[in-house]
Amino acid sequence: MKRMISLMTSAALTLTAIPAMVVSAENSEYSRWEKFLKYDLCITNYDELSNEDKELCNFIFDTEQAAGDNIVCERARRTLAGDDVGERITLDQLEDAYGLWDSFSFYNTFSGWQTYIDCVPDVICLNYVSEKNSYVFYYNKEYWLDDERSSYVLFREKVTPDTQSHFEVYDGNDRLIKTFTTKFDSPTKDFRGDTEYMKEFGMIHKNGGWYYTKPDGTAVFAWCDHSLPSSSIKITEPFVIESKINGCPVTAIENGAFACAPLTEIVLPDTIKVIDYRAFIDCKYLEKISFPQGLRYIGKLAFYGCDSLTDITLDCPDLTLGEDVFYESLGLKTADINVKEIGENAFALCKNLESVTLGSSVENIRYRAFYGDILLTEVDLPDSVRTIGQEALDSLTSVTIPYFVEVIGSYPHKTMQEFTLGLTPPPPLRPLKDKPKCAFGENCVIYGHARTEAESYADEWGLEFVSLDSTPKYTAPTITFEKGDASVKLSWTAVDGAEKYGVVGWINNRWQLIYQCENTSYLLNNLKAGSSYKVAVVTMIGNEWHKDFSNAITVTPLTSAVSKYPNVTNIKYSDKYHQFKLEWNAVDGATQYGIAVKLAGKWKVCTYTDKTNFISPKLKAGSTAEMVICAKINGKWDTSNINSRAFEVTVK
């Protein structure tokens, strides 16, 4: 890492002076380093980080500051956040590639294609690169070929008919050493709508849509026959995207695939994982669209200009909403949102949005997520929320901050200078230097718990704070555990007056809520043999979480590397339909699995399956069941250790 820092600062960066202290708010000061840790990286426990993570923090800060805060150490940031950044690109891969991009990046200003190789760049330079005789501007992204930056790749998009997309390879001294073109060429970067080139590319036409398959065995919806140019004639018949093409599941919708389509209803299959940049932009008649529960990402401006959408339901627990997804959706009035992250400006300037319901999967509400939504004066924040960005909820008159919120006022992404033809562009965002903005309205009343982020933030911004705390003496429960195969069963002592318990784990260098229950045990599944896990149990009394982690213990599963039992790897809940989905690992030799429920002290099998998942019927919200999964091996059901393998589910 030290070698990497040295190379970065010497090869490409210019040192700048770093002030010792900067003002964070009207009545509070932080050092630039402290601001960076808390509001940029959202790290509040630096002293408890591993040495490797501390080194990453220092590398990111030192390198970006040495470059005048005009670069982003993207790969290091994503590594620190616990993301799977994958392997580095190789030159052999590029020899037969259509392009190169980071498909989920905030910095995809000039859209790529799902056929591109997906790779996280090491460095993003926050200076526009302009092609000759073109108004196309984009970021330079360095894809290093090794950790030492001895050579790196830049990808150049096709921007004019007389150019071609190509890769440029540079050495560690920034000298160009090789250039080669991409696999496919056409008169324009976007040839969709031209039947000849779509067929040459290998696209498949079916029921009004164009698709193509990828080497990984998946398929992409690329273009709708009704897209561009804009039409004033509504099409009321629902447009249905195929779930499979040539046997390949359709998992993505390409950028701009439905641009300006005059459709009123679009049906997405359950196989869709990605909706790309501007996929449905300016679908002005669109009134109804389904969102599959397994959706993982929706790109920038995907639904911009869809002003006929009045209400949406996003029950997608693993979904990241990108930047500006529903920006300025003037028809939108209600939104039920159960996603992992609500991106920057995702619902900004939705001036008729008056009701938002947030589900229990929401962890991050980014910069200006609901900015300028003047009718949105109240939002209930779930206990799952960890960070709230600047100006995220600027219209609220009051807000109750959950106990586990760690950072209020998190920074936006840094940006480059925008290009606006004939106008003076707004300045680029540099959060460490810019004057901070309050997350809430200027007269917002904050309800929260004493000595938490809620009270600190209210004091910092001079907002009225109302404590929700009561004063009974509290003793944290005592935890014991029993090792299982790829699992650990936690048990703890009951606490007088407890309404609920929360199992929390030390994940990505912070305490994160794993599960809530009313009983005093929980089966922690999907653990890796030989690994240790730090856990604690907190208690809710009087509707208040007691955030006391003094009872934390370190647990390990059995050392067997092969799973003997079907252990639950994931439980997904649907707030809307009051159902849950169980997923578990396959067991060697198993021909069938039985899902059992304990009724009146006895185990009763409710269903059998040869799959490794189970979806419950619709149940009563709030009901709790003790369950277990058994495998049938060599014609016999394995019910050994059945009680220690049991787990609980609570219907939402």
Residues 174 and 58 in one domain: no
One-letter identity of residue 28: S
| Residue pLDDT, tens place only, 27-60 | 334 589 999 999 999 999 898 899 999 999 999 9
- Burial of residue 146, with CB atoms counted within 10 A of its CB: 0-12 exposed, 13-18 middle, 19 or more buried: exposed
Residue whose token pair is 């229990």: 360
pLDDT at 510: 82
- Burial of residue 424, with CB atoms counted within 10 A of its CB: 0-12 exposed, 13-18 middle, 19 or more buried: exposed
Q: Which domain holds residue 610?
A: 479-650
Residues 145 and 44 in one domain: no
Interatomic CA distance for residues 425 and 67, integer angstroms: 22
Decide which of 133, 154, 181 is a domain's last residue.
181
Q: Residue 23: which pLDDT band, with cuts at 50, 70 and 90?
A: very low
Residues 560 and 643 in one domain: yes
Interatomic CA distance for residues 556 and 533, integer angstroms: 6
> Is 149 within a domain?
yes
> Is 610 within a domain?
yes
Q: What is the mean pLDDT of residues 572-585?
A: 86
Q: What is the enclosing helix (H) or strand (E) of 221?
A: strand 219-224
Q: Which long-range contacts (CB under 8 A, 24 or more apart) does 4-8 make?
A: 4/59, 4/147, 4/148, 4/149, 5/59, 5/62, 5/63, 7/148, 7/149, 7/172, 8/63, 8/66, 8/123, 8/149
pLDDT at 562: 58
Going by C-alpha positions, the residue among 269, 266, 259 that lies closest to residue 237 is 266
Residues 157 and 57 in one domain: no
Structure tokens, 479: 């935890």
Residues 65 and 160 in one domain: no
Interatomic CA distance for residues 376 and 391, integer angstroms: 13
Interatomic CA distance for residues 219 and 227, integer angstroms: 19
pLDDT at 21: 30
Q: What is the mean pLDDT of residues 628-632?
A: 93
> Is 436 within a domain?
no
What share of the chain has pLDDT > 70, as a percent? 90
> Is 599 within a domain?
yes
Q: What is the enclosing helix (H) or strand (E) of 649?
A: strand 647-650
Going by C-alpha positions, the residue among 101, 110, 427, 78 that lies closest to residue 300 is 110
Looking at residue 48, what DSSP letter applies?
G
Interatomic CA distance for residues 530 and 641, integer angstroms: 21
The number of domains in the chain is 3
> Between 561 and 601, where is the model more confident?
601
pLDDT at 336: 97
Residues 548 and 621 in one domain: yes
Which residues on neighbouring strands pair with residue 275, listed in sequence order?
253, 298
> Is 163 within a domain?
yes
Three-class DSSP category at 606: strand
Structure tokens, 62: 């030192």
Residues 43 and 139 in one domain: no
Q: Residue 140: which pLDDT band, with cuts at 50, 70 and 90?
A: confident
One-letter identity of residue 397: T
How far apart are the two ends of the chain, measured CA to CA in Å?
45
Residues 127 and 63 in one domain: no
Decide which of 121, 150, 181 is a domain's last residue.
181
Decide which of 181, 212, 245 is a domain's last residue.
181
Pair 562, 590: CB distance under 8 Å: no
Whole-structure pTM value: 0.74
Most confidently predicted of 10-14, 109-113, 486-490? 486-490
Pair 370, 349: CB distance under 8 Å: no
Q: Strand 297-298 to strand 274-275: parallel, antiparallel, or no bridges (unpaired)?
A: parallel
Residue whose token pair is 């649907």: 574
Pair 311, 335: CB distance under 8 Å: yes
Interatomic CA distance for residues 327 and 306, integer angstroms: 10
Residues 20 and 117 in one domain: no
One-letter identity of residue 437: K
Structure tokens, 182: 């991409």
Three-class DSSP category at 317: coil
Q: Which CATH number is 489's domain given?
A: 2.60.40.10
> Is 490 within a domain?
yes
| Residue pLDDT, tens place only, 276-330 | 999 999 999 999 999 999 999 999 999 999 999 999 999 999 999 999 999 999 9
Structure tokens, 330: 């003037």
CA dist 469 → 448, 449, 538, 540 (Å): 8, 6, 15, 11
Q: What is the mean pLDDT of residues 572-601?
A: 87
Quick check: 109 pLDDT over 70? no
> Is 528 within a domain?
yes
The 3-class SS string of 325-365 reads CCCCCCCCCEEEEECCEECCCCCCCCCCCCEEEECCCCCEE
pLDDT at 567: 85
Residues 107 and 151 in one domain: yes
What average pLDDT does the structure give for the chain?
87
Structure tokens, 437: 């903005």
Residues 7 and 133 in one domain: no
Provide the 10 A C-beta neighbour count for residue 517: 16
Residues 134 and 52 in one domain: no
* Strand residues in 41-158 grouped as ranges (E): 71-72, 100-101, 117-118, 123-130, 137-144, 151-156
Going by C-alpha positions, the residue among 9, 68, 107 that lies closest to residue 432 is 68
Residue whose token pair is 């921007």: 159
The 3-class SS string of 123-136 reads EEEEEEEECCCCCC
User: Checking phi first, is residue 305 left (phi over 0); if not, alpha (psi -120 to 50) or beta?
Assistant: left
Q: Strand 239-240 to strand 553-555: parallel, antiparallel, or no bridges (unpaired)?
A: unpaired
pLDDT at 3: 36
| Residue pLDDT, tens place only, 515-548 | 899 899 998 888 887 788 999 999 998 888 888 8
Going by C-alpha positions, the residue among 571, 565, 442 that lies closest to residue 503 is 571
Three-class DSSP category at 62: helix
Quick check: 264 pLDDT over 80? yes
> Is 211 within a domain?
no
